Copies of this chain bind each other. A is one copy, B any other.
Amino acid sequence: SKFEYVRKFESDDRCLPNCWMVVRLDGKGFHKLSSEHDYDKPNDSRALALMTKSAVRVMEEFNEICLAYGQSDEYSFVFKKDSELYNRRKTKIETNICSLFSSSFVYYWSNFFPQTYLKYPPSFDGRVVLYPTNQNLRDYLSWRQADCHINNLYNTAFWALVQQGGYSPSKAEERLRGTVASDKNEILFSEFGINYNNLPELYRKGTILLRRKVEQEHEKNVVGQNGMVETQRYTKRRMTILPLNVDIIGDKFWEENNDILGSYM
């Protein structure tokens, strides 16, 4: 029709080739959402599991994602460097990933919060960031995991002071102002008997999602030589999405999973 010229106003936004494309999503106003839905403090394992379930759904759909990393209300998805998804169109990638994650979050909500009515549809922003080198990509992921650690240590100390120490929120904040990591560890240990390093790695490290072949046990019934039906066990290797709660700042993880970055190390 004579109106079709308006398509020319769309812009081309392909990502530079040969760069890592990372999509980061972050919950909008999750301060409010977490408190309105009574998230446990400082960490709600149901909420974290729901985030990870949604991320797994995204990885099942987009198989060019080779790694994902999540913590708090955010998830980052790393596409393999030579991905040609949507011709690397930036907006297409951002909106598709963000949309599927968001709808999955609602879709699976009741699996993780069976008792809690979801009061309104939540939402997430999304963005693609490009990283030219393996080092840049590792630094990006380190940045997010360091952020997880910093926030979690703070929040753990804060809520210990409030929930166990009887501090008001503002008093707790005051107490923690200006403290460094070791101070917070000390408060936790000496005042509340909490050894921070013994807390679940899920909280301290966040969640890494990888594609991995896993052995799966199967059984089948066969008629044996003696004519009797026997149950035979065997294993099959299947591609699955594996969650890990480990350090990704140091070299160990990357050495053990050296397929991700390819020739890097």
Let me know if A3 and B106 touch, CB within 8 A: no
Nearest residue, chain B, Cβ from A61: B123
Q: A236 in the interface, Cβ–Cβ < 8 Å? A: no
Let me know if B130 and A16 touch, CB within 8 A: yes
Q: A260 in the interface, Cβ–Cβ < 8 Å? A: no
Let me know if A100 and B121 touch, CB within 8 A: yes
Let me know if B19 and A132 touch, CB within 8 A: yes
Let me know if A136 and B6 touch, CB within 8 A: yes
Main secondary structure of the interface of A (DSSP, over half): helix
Instruction: Given A5-B139, A6-B143, answer yes or no on A103-B123 (Cβ-Cβ < 8 Å).
Output: yes
Q: A127 in the interface, Cβ–Cβ < 8 Å? A: yes
Q: A254 in the interface, Cβ–Cβ < 8 Å? A: no
Which one of A36-44, A91-99, A206-214 is at the B interface? Answer: A91-99
Give the one of A19, A98, A131 with max B CB within 10 A. A98
Which one of A7-15, A163-171, A193-201 is at the B interface? Answer: A7-15
Which residues from B are CB-within-8-Å of A113? none
Let me know if B19 and A16 touch, CB within 8 A: yes
Nearest residue, chain B, Cβ from A9: B129
Instruction: Given A14-B12, A132-B133, answer yes or no on A99-B102 (Cβ-Cβ < 8 Å).
Output: yes
20 contacts across the A-B interface (CB closer than 8 A)? A1-B142, A3-B146, A6-B129, A7-B143, A9-B17, A9-B136, A10-B129, A11-B14, A12-B12, A19-B132, A25-B95, A91-B94, A91-B125, A95-B125, A95-B127, A96-B125, A102-B102, A103-B122, A107-B118, A132-B133
